[in-house]
């Protein structure tokens, strides 16, 4: 049975990465390096291809699948599943941190760019507070509420606690709509007004509330005129 060791040396994923750079590897080759060559039923390359073809979303699915779903694939054990899911989460965090370090928040598109990868494939709503300094630079983000399919309830104390702790000058609320439709709901509007009023009282401005949908779509309650100036 052929495997990675049977490939010509320049074509092996590890040697290819070291010699040509990671950008020249296919998704299957990158995943094969994460899986390793110690599989019993097939080579790491063929097993990687099996994993990617098993889920409809391909590589994007690796962010949302469970360990149990991976282990159902023949050749994937607990240790391999853990490596795959850890690598997927690590990639998401790198993407989010890189965007956070690069961006001064000027417009809703900046927020959508940071959180699109974070929310990809999520089945629940997550509400984050984005912390801004006086120059509108992002100094942090905090998960403040996690809800069901249709709601992520939050109270002002939870929203502003990290802002007070970090000395933020302003905040932006951002949450996802698992349905994929970024249009704000009546509940989104009511929560925004409640948080805005609380921010006025404590001296931390609510700059915007951005709703991220599917496929990179988003809406801004400020831009749509649904929050106070």
Integer Cα distance of 46 and 177 in angstroms: 36
- Sorted by sequence, the CB contacts under 8 Å of residue 191 that are 6+ apart come out as 154, 173, 209
> Tens-of-pLDDT digits for all 229 residues of the chain?
445 555 545 567 788 888 888 778 888 888 888 887 555 434 788 888 888 888 776 777 777 788 898 888 888 888 888 888 888 878 777 666 555 554 577 788 888 888 888 888 788 899 999 999 998 888 889 999 887 645 656 789 999 999 999 999 999 999 999 888 999 988 899 889 999 999 999 999 999 999 998 777 899 999 888 776 4
Instruction: Give the pLDDT score at 2.
Output: 47
Structural domains in the chain, sorted by start? 4-94 (no CATH), 104-220 (3.40.140.10)
Instruction: Give the pLDDT score at 87.
Output: 83
Instruction: Give the pLDDT score at 97.
Output: 59
For residues 99 and 91, is the Cβ–Cβ distance under 8 A? no
Instruction: Give the pLDDT score at 212.
Output: 93
Instruction: Give the pLDDT score at 7.
Output: 52
Closest CA to 156 of 127, 119, 186: 127
Q: What is the 3-state secondary structure (H, E, C) of 10-24?
A: HHCHHHHHHHHCHHH
- pTM, entire model: 0.57
Integer Cα distance of 50 and 32 in angstroms: 11
**Beta strand spans in 44-122 (E):** none
């Amino acid at each position: 049975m052929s495997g990675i060791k049977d490939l010509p040396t320049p074509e092996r994923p590890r040697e290819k990465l070291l010699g040509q750079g990671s950008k020249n590897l296919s998704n299957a080759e990158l995943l094969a390096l994460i899986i390793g060559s110690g599989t019993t039923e097939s080579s790491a390359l063929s097993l990687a291809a099996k994993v990617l073809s098993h889920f409809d979303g391909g590589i994007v699915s690796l962010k949302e699948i469970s360990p149990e779903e991976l282990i159902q694939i023949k050749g994937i054990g607990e240790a391999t599943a853990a490596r795959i899911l850890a690598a997927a989460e690590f990639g998401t965090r790198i993407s989010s941190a890189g965007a956070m370090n690069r961006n001064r928040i000027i417009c809703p598109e900046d927020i959508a760019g940071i959180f699109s990868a974070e929310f990809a494939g999520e089945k629940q709503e997550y509400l984050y507070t984005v912390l801004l300094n006086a120059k509108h630079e992002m100094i942090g983000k905090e998960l403040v509420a996690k809800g069901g399919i249709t709601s992520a309830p939050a109270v002002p104390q939870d929203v502003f606690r990290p802002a007070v702790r970090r000395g933020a000058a302003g905040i932006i609320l951002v949450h996802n709509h698992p349905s994929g439709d970024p249009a704000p709901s009546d509940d989104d509007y009511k929560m925004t007004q409640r948080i805005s009023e609380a921010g006025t009282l404590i001296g931390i401005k609510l700059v915007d509330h951005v709703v991220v949908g599917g496929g990179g779509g988003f809406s801004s309650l400020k831009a749509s005129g649904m929050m106070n100036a």
